Amino acid sequence: MSAVTVDQLNDGGRQSAEDQARAAELKRLERRDGWRRRIPILPALIYTILVTQIPFLFTLFYSLTDWRIDTPDPRQFIWFENYGSLSGDTFFLDSAWVSVQMTVMAVLGSLIVGTGLAILLDRKFFGQGFVRTLLITPFLVMPVVAGLMWKLQMFNSTFGIIGWVMNQLGLEPVEFATRFPLASVVVVLIWQWSPFMMLIVLAGLQGQDQSVLEAARVDGATSWGTFRQITLPQLRPFLELGTLLGAIYLIQVYDHIEVIVGGQPGARNLPFYIAGRSIGGGNRFGLSSAYSIVVVLASIIIANIGLRVLSNLLEDDS
Amino acid sequence: MAEVVLERVNKIYPNGYHAIHDLDLDIKDGEFLVLVGPSGCGKSTALRMVAGLEEISGGEMRIGPTLVNDVHPKDRDIAMVFQNYALYPHMTVADNIGFALKLAKIPKAEIEERVGKAAAILDLTEQLPKKPGQLSGGQRQRVAMGRAIVRQPKAFLMDEPLSNLDAKLRVQMRAEIAALQRDLGVTTIYVTHDQVEAMTMGDRVCVLKRGFLQQVDTPQNLYDSPDNVFVAGFIGSPSMNLMRLTLGGTADNMSVEIEGQTLKIDPQVAQAKPALAGFLGREVVVGIRPEDMEDAEIATDAPGDRKLRTHCTLIEALGSELIVHFPLAVESFSIMDAEFEGEDAVEQAKDEQGRTIYVGRFSPRSRARIGSELEVVVDTARFHFFDPESGNAIRG
């Protein structure tokens, strides 16, 4: 009996050794396979690291110094002093508030206008393709060109179309960009970003199951009821996506502000303010670097929360 | 509950396609009417016109006493079950079923009660808090049914509601829907391309082809006395064998010749169908149901002039019966043509000598084997005759 048991044990030992060898081999193969999949994206990854992460590390380093290029003093390492001065800088806080206002208004505005346009486009009519192309064009215009167009041809009190219309109506023309700098920039942003939102929402509308809409009609829903209770809930992931992408781009707006209002305090957002404090003439590179780091961290946190919310929603629907 | 009446209803699409031609239908209160036909025959269009989802180009439609030609779907008081169920994906099962009641501003307590009752009937009580995405195909189908029955509408409209289910579930749901309709007694129009569904579920069946009404009758009448060659060939599985043959013999002693073998037509048939005498010496379409043929070894008492010699090319053994295929050098009559029916137009199978393959339904005791000689007894008393020109049945 015992001999058999010993034999079995021996056998078992041999087996586990074999198992281990097989597991190691499997692991090696898996690793090789992993590399085979990784290698094709490696050049892109290296490039991305070179152009984004290395400058980021430099910025991180500068933010810990008092570097300014308009004085001959040597660059000194001052640890977190720059970050400490942040809360006392009312200009920074003002710019942050402008950034929030500008982003929220532009995203919501373009979302509403874009959804409206998408609904109008989501039906068959003669020349549909042509109209769609025309509606997309604002999104294809360069930001600087869009800014100049609106500044000179729309907002200008002497030559602008809005001024002319007000004149025709017997009203006194107003220099919009000066009187309402934030609103002026937001209007141009909405004009430029509505087509983007329109495309996203249109994709959602056209992906709708027609028979679901028909079922709602048979169930007794009015057109508005069908839109509110059936279409809108189904569009939610598309609206969320539009909001997220729009916010990521619109929080970085610079060109429009530069061209239309040229940095008036009422329409100066964070990117504009930080640029002004550094390469725009302020030359406070250390301080600006600290501000940039704060903005990047805040953006990453907000974008992460947004993305998580979005993916939860999408999971729910599937 | 109400009757649904269609009078000379037409549907012409903006591109000029005439989908429905002068459709007359009188669906009685509480009746289960099945619309059946090959794809593109206009059955779904007709149903959608009753629902109000398609405009009526001509004619009149009434639900109950009301003319509904220009009435919005929401005001027609009908409930529809769609082929893909069309459930609201973002709502729970309970909200899906109760949606119409909510829109009708019915008090919340009553909605809950009615939804609960409908769910109990359909065995959905446990699924009420789930969303459609979490349900199986059969359960989704039930939710779609629940959405219809909870409303107590004037009529149910069902557009191929079982076609997305697997075969077994389809048979089960077929019986359940038919039983439910009988219990509720709601006028029902049911569209299907599956003639088994049509035959088993409908009080009456309406056969459509290319937008033209072919025949409306009880399933058994459609099967026993089809008005025309299309209905004859479409209803029944396997289909009726349709042969182009020359009617020979005399008025009292008619016969047809198949591959030099003479089949004597039962004198009863000639008496029952006096118009047949007018076709003597001319070509007619003879329709023979597969079950009106039998292996001569089993039907031993059949007279010699009712037999055909051929050989067996294929046997489909279904256990309770044998579907036996055999070739005959007789041209068949096709009820579908490729120009209109596209993929539905199945070319009659032929053997390598160009002879058409016909089908008989034999007793499982038959010892027919693939490739072996075969003698087929034909019950000529049950022949159907059609005019090859008009396609209409030759009767009185």
Rounded to the nearest integer, the mean pLDDT of chain A is 87
Note whether A165 and A26 are same-domain residues: no
Residues A189 and A239 in one domain: yes
Q: Are residues A309 and A263 in the same domain?
A: yes
Whether A111 is covered by a domain: the verdict is yes
What pLDDT score does A11 carry?
58
Q: How far is A277 from chain B (nearest CA, A)?
A: 49
* Nearest CB to B103 within list A225, A234, A318: A225
Residue A71 covered by a domain: no
- Under the banding of pLDDT at 50, 70 and 90, the label for residue B164 is confident
Q: Confidence band (pLDDT; 50, 70, 90) for A313? A: low
Nearest CA in chain A to B152: A219
Examine the pLDDT at B198 and tell me if it is beyond 60.
Answer: yes
Is residue B382 classed as helix, strand or coil in its secondary structure? helix
Chain A residues with beta carbon closer than 8 angstroms to that of B83: 211
Name which residue leads in pLDDT, B122 or A317: B122
Query: Tokens standing for B167?
Result: 């075969």
Which chain B residue lies closest to A314 (C-alpha atoms)? B90
Which of A214, A218, A240, A313 would you mutate first to test chain B, the one with the most B CBs within 10 A? A218
Query: pLDDT value at position A281?
Result: 79
Give a yes or no: residue A213 inside a domain: yes
Residue A263, pLDDT above cutoff 90 = no
Q: What is the pLDDT of residue B194?
A: 87
Same domain flag for A136 and A29? no
Taking a C-beta distance cutoff of 8 angstroms, is the pair A278, A284 a contact?
yes
A274 is a domain residue: yes
Q: What percent of chain A has pLDDT over 90?
A: 40
Test mutation, B90, B154, B156, B191, chain A, max A CBs within 10 A: B90
Nearest-angstrom CA–CA distance, A249 and A269: 13
Which residues of chain A neighbour B100 with C-beta distances below 8 Å?
Answer: 219-220
Residue A78 lies in a domain: no
Confidence of residue B348 (pLDDT cuts 50, 70, 90): confident
Residues of A in contact with B155 (CB under 8 A): none
How many folded domains does chain A comprise?
2
Task: Kindly state the average pLDDT of the residues A131-152.
Answer: 93
Model pLDDT, residue A2: 47
Residues A94, A45 within the same domain: no
Amino acid at A33: D
Confidence of residue B46 (pLDDT cuts 50, 70, 90): very high
Higher-scoring residue by pLDDT: A144, A302: A144
Contact A212 B87 (CB under 8 A): yes
Q: What does each C-alpha distance from A140 to A131, A151, A239, A243, A259 come to in angstroms?
A: 15, 18, 21, 19, 18
Q: Taking all residues of chain B, what is their mean pLDDT, rounded to a whole number?
A: 90
Identify the contact set of chain A against chain B, taking CB-CB distances under 8 A: 209, 211-212, 214-222, 225, 229-230, 233-234, 236, 317-318
User: Long-range pairs for A168-176 at CB < 8 Å and ≥24 separation?
Assistant: none
Across A226-240, average pLDDT: 88
- For residues A102 and A239, state if they share a domain: yes
Residue A257's CATH number: 1.10.3720.10
Looking at the partner chain, which of B73, B87, B133 has a beta carbon nearest the beta carbon of A218? B73
SS (H, E, C) chain A: CHHHHHHHHHHHHHHHHHHHHHHHHHHHHHHHHHHHHHHHHHHHHHHHHHHHHHHHHHHHHHCCECCCCCCCCCCCECCCHHHHHHHHCHHHHHHHHHHHHHHHHHHHHHHHHHHHHHHHHCCCCCCHHHHHHHHHHHHHCCHHHHHHHHHHHHHCCCCCHHHHHHHHCCCCCCCHHHHCHHHHHHHHHHHHHHHHHHHHHHHHHHCCCHHHHHHHHHHCCCHHHHHHHHHHHHHHHHHHHHHHHHHHHHCCCCHHHHHHCCCCHHHCCHHHHHHHHCCCCCCCHHHHHHHHHHHHHHHHHHHHHHHHHHHHHHHHHC
Task: Please tell me whether residues A170 and A251 are part of one structural domain.
Answer: yes
Sign of CA dihedral A303, A304, A305, A307: positive
In terms of domains, do A174 and A263 share one? yes
pLDDT at A7: 54
Average pLDDT over residues B289-299: 91
| The pLDDT of residue B299 | 85
Separation between Cα atoms, residue B77 and residue B154, nearest integer Å: 6
Shortest CB distance from A318 goes to which of B83, B84, B133?
Answer: B133
Q: At residue B340, does pLDDT exceed 70?
A: no
Cis peptide before B290 (omega within 30 of 0): no
Parent domain of A17:
2-51
**Picking from A148-152, A277-281, B305-309, which range would have the lowest pLDDT averaged per residue?**
A277-281
User: Sorting pLDDT into bands at 50, 70 and 90, what band is A1?
Assistant: very low
Residues on chain B bordering chain A, Cβ-to-Cβ distance under 8 angstroms: 51-53, 72-74, 76, 78-80, 82-84, 86-90, 99-100, 103-104, 133, 147, 151
Statement: residue A309 has pLDDT above 50: yes
Q: How many angstroms away from the CA of A206 is the closest CA of chain B?
A: 16
Query: In this structure, are A181 and A237 located in the same domain?
Result: yes
Are A17 and A129 part of one and the same domain? no
Verify that A146 and A249 share a domain, yes or no: yes
| pLDDT of B342 | 55
The reply to whether residue A221 touches residue B103, judged by beta carbons under 8 angstroms, is yes
* Structure confidence at residue A58 (pLDDT): 92
Domain-located, residue A234: yes
pLDDT tens for residues A147-202? Answer: 999 999 999 888 889 889 988 998 888 888 888 999 999 999 999 999 999 999 99
Q: What is the pLDDT of residue B86?
A: 92
- Predicted confidence band of residue A9 (pLDDT cuts 50, 70, 90): low
Using 50, 70 and 90 to split pLDDT, how confident is the model at B346? low
Is the CB of A219 less than 8 angstroms away from the CB of B86? no
Select from A219, A226, A315 the residue whose CB has the most chain B CBs within 10 Å, as the one to mutate to test that interface: A219
Cα–Cα distance measured from residue A316 to residue A287, given in angstroms and rounded to the nearest whole number: 44
If asked whether residues A98 and A245 sit together in one domain, one would say: yes
Region B258-271: mean pLDDT is: 88
Reported as a single tens digit per residue, the pLDDT across A208-229 is 999 999 999 999 899 999 998 8
A3 phi and psi angles, rounded to 5 deg: -60, -40
Q: Taking 90 as the threshold, does the pLDDT of residue A112 lie above it?
A: yes
Assigned domain for A145 exists: yes
Least confident range from A131-140, A278-287, B351-360: namely A278-287
Is the full-model pTM beyond 0.95? no
Domain contains A121 = yes
- Predicted local confidence at residue B337, as pLDDT: 62
